[in-house]
Amino acid sequence: MEKRLRLGIFGFGVVGQGLYDIIKTKQLNLEIKKFVIKHPEKKRTLPQELFHTNPNDILEDPEINTVIELIDDAEVAFEIVSKALQNGKNVVSANKKMIGSHLKELVELQQANNVSLLYEGAVCGSIPIIRNLEEYYDNELLHSISGIFNGSSNYILSKIFNENLEYAVALKQAQDLGFAESNPVLDVGGFDAKYKLVIAASHAYGLFIDPEEVLNIGIETLNDKDVRFAKEKNLKIKLVPTARKINDKQVILYVLPKLVDKENILYQVENEYNGVVVQAAFADQQFFYGKGAGGHPTGSAVLSDIAALRYDYRYEYKKHLTTDDSDLEGYSSNWDLNVYLRYEDNNLIEKLGFKSISERYEADNFKYVIGTINLSKLIENREILNQEGVFIAEKD
């Protein structure tokens, strides 16, 4: 039976406004009772009495049965969501950093308080990947999940490769359009994609993985030499998070730029769009495509979760319940990758411990190698790999 939802919403930024725009066009059995905002001095398009600054105005209101968390501070969001769940309220969130960093604790809170936390909007915007991993693939053996999870970095790379824009110009465009923040490191540094990957991998493999253990290298040090190298070989560079089952017993996770050719389905994913590739034992390869940035795409995913709560939907975490009895041993970093590495210091090649080198080029202003290296060595040297003068990308 459908129940009436009375919403308390934290945040009225890009996603909050997008969600409201969608809700007002729908005839749904729900009511927005209050917003809690950080900056009450801002002019709003809604009646002022809807806006509050004290979180307890929502969290302690017995009439509000559903909390929507749409703020950008992960630790404050965790406090809000934790208290909401403890107070017996269902929660919808789009905060990938908060969820990725605290998922195990949040699952325990849900179970202890018999409530639901849904977060489809936290992973890949409008693409319904979490619900599919949880429901459609619940009995499937998944070999890998990979793709383009961050619309901001993909927009930047698209402008560089398709319109020959410089990195700084493409980044400024992404910021002006609201795809990238004023401090874009979460996007271009691969952190945003990493948090999303950890969440998706949890539903795919039944594991809680600490994001701090997962390698993320972004596109901040990309330069014209890397772009020219890729174009000469008819390749594009995409920022690709990957979760893969190895040896039928362990799972690896990493976020790296990747050189992709025209045969790769991700080659055609451009601008703020995301694309998720699921490789399964029985269903084979499936591809999910949609907008990954912007208020309305993310707002639509949030509304989908809200609508599901009208029927008491919750994630069952089925694979987490069966992991202890399976052959899966957990997270690993022991896996060899084929990479392209641009560098300046010759000592870096030895420090990284390449197992083999298939191609090497040295000129006065451009040095690169292509070879095989263990993921654990990349994690060990992640600080060096994020420095100016170095750029690394996975290469098939």
Q: What's the mean pLDDT when you consider all of the chain? A: 92
pLDDT digits (tens, 9 = 90+) for 27-60: 778 889 999 998 888 888 788 888 899 999 999 9
Element (H, E) at 174: helix 167-176
**316 backbone dihedrals φ, ψ, rounded to 5°:** -95, -10
pLDDT of 182: 72
How many C-alpha atoms does 340 have within 13 Å on its Cβ side?
A: 22
pLDDT of 292: 80
What residues are labeled active site?
196
DSSP classification of residue 364: S
pLDDT of 237: 98
pLDDT digits (tens, 9 = 90+) for 168-178: 999 999 988 87
pLDDT digits (tens, 9 = 90+) for 62-115: 999 999 999 989 999 999 999 999 999 999 999 999 999 999 999 999 999 999
Residue 25 pLDDT class (50, 70, 90 cuts) = confident
- For the four alpha carbons of 228, 229, 233 and 237, in that order, the dihedral sign comes to negative
Residues 6+ away with beta carbon under 8 Å from 88? 113, 114, 115
User: Is residue 188 helix, strand or coil?
Assistant: helix
Q: Are 81 and 93 in contact (CB under 8 A)?
A: yes
Q: Say which residue, 82 or 180, is predicted with more confidence.
A: 82
- For the four alpha carbons of 162, 166, 169 and 171, in that order, the dihedral sign comes to positive
pLDDT of 140: 86
Q: Identity (one letter) of the amino acid at 172? A: K
Cα 352 to Cα 216: distance, rounded to the nearest angstrom? 16
- Whether the pLDDT of residue 195 is over 80: the answer is yes
Residue 328 pLDDT class (50, 70, 90 cuts) = low
pLDDT of 396: 85
pLDDT digits (tens, 9 = 90+) for 263-295: 999 999 999 999 999 999 988 999 999 988 778
- Whether the pLDDT of residue 325 is over 60: the answer is no
- Whether the pLDDT of residue 336 is over 80: the answer is yes
- Token couple for 222: 């990309």
Going by C-alpha positions, the residue among 139, 182, 138, 166 that lies closest to residue 222 is: 166
Residues 6+ away with beta carbon under 8 Å from 364? none
Residue 327 pLDDT class (50, 70, 90 cuts) = low
Mean pLDDT on 335-357 = 96
- Whether the pLDDT of residue 1 is over 70: the answer is no
pLDDT of 319: 86
- Whether the pLDDT of residue 304 is over 60: the answer is yes
Mean pLDDT on 136-162 = 94
Q: Identity (one letter) of the amino acid at 313? A: Y
b/e code 206-234 from CB counts within 10 Å (16+ = b): bbbbebeebbbbbbbbbeeebbebbeeee
User: What percent of the chain lies above the pLDDT cut of 90?
Assistant: 77
Q: Are 54 and 38 in contact (CB under 8 A)?
A: no
Q: Are 319 and 373 in contact (CB under 8 A)?
A: no
User: What percent of the chain lies above the pLDDT cut of 70?
Assistant: 98
Cα 279 to Cα 336: distance, rounded to the nearest angstrom? 19
Q: Are 266 and 277 in contact (CB under 8 A)?
A: yes
pLDDT of 49: 85
Can you list the alpha helix ranges (DSSP code H) found in 324-374? Answer: 347-352
- Token couple for 172: 């400024």
Please give the domain boundaries of the chain with CATH numbers for all domains.
Answer: 5-129+295-323 (3.40.50.720), 139-290+327-395 (3.30.360.10)
Q: Identity (one letter) of the amino acid at 360? A: R
CA of 273: how far to CAs of 132, 139, 252, 294, 350, in Å? Answer: 19, 29, 25, 10, 38
Residue 323 pLDDT class (50, 70, 90 cuts) = low
pLDDT digits (tens, 9 = 90+) for 205-251: 999 999 999 999 999 999 999 999 999 999 999 999 999 999 888 99
pLDDT of 89: 97
Inter-helix orientation angle 14-23/295-309, to 10°: 60
